[in-house]
Amino acid sequence: MSSPLIRVENVHKSYLMGKEAVPALRGVTLDIEAGDFVCLMGPSGSGKTTLLNIVGGLDEPGRGHVIIDGENVVSLPENQLARLRLTKLGFVFQNYNLLANFTARENVEAPMVLARSGSRARRERASRLLERVGLSDRDRHYPSELSGGQQQRVAIARALANDPPILIGDEITGDLDSETGFAIMELMTSLNREGMTIVFVTHDPRMAEFASRLINIQDGKILNEETPA
Ligand SMILES: Nc1ncnc2c1ncn2[C@@H]1O[C@H](COP(=O)(O)OP(=O)(O)OP(=O)(O)O)[C@@H](O)[C@H]1O
Ligand SMILES: [Mg+2]
């Protein structure tokens, strides 16, 4: 039997507030297979962002393990963790997190610079990715010269820059009107059909319906799993 692309094993996480430990995750175990399209839902404060950040190696669990593509993220030295994040994971956030002084194209090329791709390969790939998200004609625009939906498309193209197998999104449609949000989810769906493994958080049940697995989180634990309609 082959192991899952992502394995989350009994992950606990508490944050220290003064002298008090605030539990954010209380024993989460979850397997995600290559090609899964997973939605995490749950009340505010239930631990969704904490779980995404730990899966993505942006935060460390207090206890437990996260194994991505056979590598134990928790015990990796910092340089190998950075490499894993750069090549295996793409991140998309609610507020886009684009670099304000970089054009759309430069934003998409940035992770390729970090991965030391050559300039010609970077240019070609950025062109293809901007085309993929429907923004070929906006490549020289700065984020402030783009609409919210366009900025999120640039952020998705940037997340795909180093061709990672996994895309992680935290409320990526949270700041968008519903029509633009649906267009973003349709883009995610076509990426998933092409083989991308996607894990995202939303508060919007209409966006959750795009997923093939719906995992409900409550009080830092998995409450249950459903198959969306
Ligand atoms: N950096 C931090 N320091 C202290 N406590 C934190 C920190 N980050 C999160 N928490 C706490 O951990 C718990 C889980 O937070 P988390 O951000 O994961 O929730 P969430 O499910 O993403 O909520 P939302 O839907 O509002 O984004 C909350 O009780 C929160 O207050
Ligand atoms: Mg959150």
- Ligand 1 centroid–CA 90 distance in Å is 21
> Which of 19, 22, 41 has most ligand 1 atoms within 8 Å of CB, for mutation?
22
- Any residues with CB less than 8 A from the CB of 12 and at least 6 apart, and which? 23, 25, 26, 27, 61, 62, 63, 64
Q: Does residue 22 line the site of ligand 1, with CB under 6 A?
A: yes
- Joined together, the tokens standing for residue 187 give 């883009």
Indicate the burial class of 122 (C-beta count within 10 angstroms; 0-12, 13-18, 19 or more).
buried
- Any residues with CB less than 8 A from the CB of 42 and at least 6 apart, and which? 48, 216, 217, 218, 223
Residue 1, pLDDT above cutoff 70 = no
The three-state DSSP-derived secondary structure of 22-41 is EEEEEEEEEEECCCCEEEEE
Residue 2, pLDDT above cutoff 90 = no
Provide the whole-model pTM: 0.95
Q: Does residue 17 line the site of ligand 1, with CB under 6 A?
A: yes
Pairing of strands 166-170, 89-93: parallel
Residue whose CA lies nearest to ligand 1 atom number 16: 47
Residues with CB under 5 A from ligand 2 (ion): 49
Buried-exposed string 12-30: b where 16+ CB fall within 10 A, e elsewhere = bbbeeeeeeeebbbeebeb
Q: Does residue 48 line the site of ligand 1, with CB under 6 A?
A: yes
> Facing residues of 199 across strands?
38, 168
Q: How far apart are CA 180 and CA 210, in angstroms?
A: 14
Q: How far apart are CA 53 and CA 44, in angstroms?
A: 16
> What phi, psi does 119 have (nearest 5°)?
-65, -35
Average pLDDT over the chain, rounded to an integer: 95
Q: Does residue 54 line the site of ligand 1, with CB under 6 A?
A: no
- Joined together, the tokens standing for residue 15 give 């944050």
> Which of 13, 14, 50 has most ligand 1 atoms within 8 Å of CB, for mutation?
50
Q: 39-96: per-residue pLDDT in tens?
A: 999 999 999 999 999 999 899 999 999 999 999 998 899 999 999 999 999 999 999 9
Average pLDDT (144-154) is 96
Q: What percent of the chain has pLDDT over 90?
A: 96
Q: What is the residue extent of each domain of the chain?
A: 34-57+77-226
Helix axes 104-114, 148-159, angle to 10 degrees: 20
Indicate the burial class of 3 (C-beta count within 10 angstroms; 0-12, 13-18, 19 or more).
exposed
- Which amino acid does the sequence have at 70? G
- Ligand 1 centroid–CA 15 distance in Å is 9
Residue 229, pLDDT above cutoff 80 = no
Q: 168-213: per-residue pLDDT in tens?
A: 999 999 999 999 999 999 999 999 999 999 999 999 999 999 999 9
User: What's domain 34-57+77-226's architecture?
Assistant: 3-Layer(aba) Sandwich (3.40)
Q: Which band of pLDDT confidence, cut at 50, 70 and 90, is reported for residue 146?
A: very high
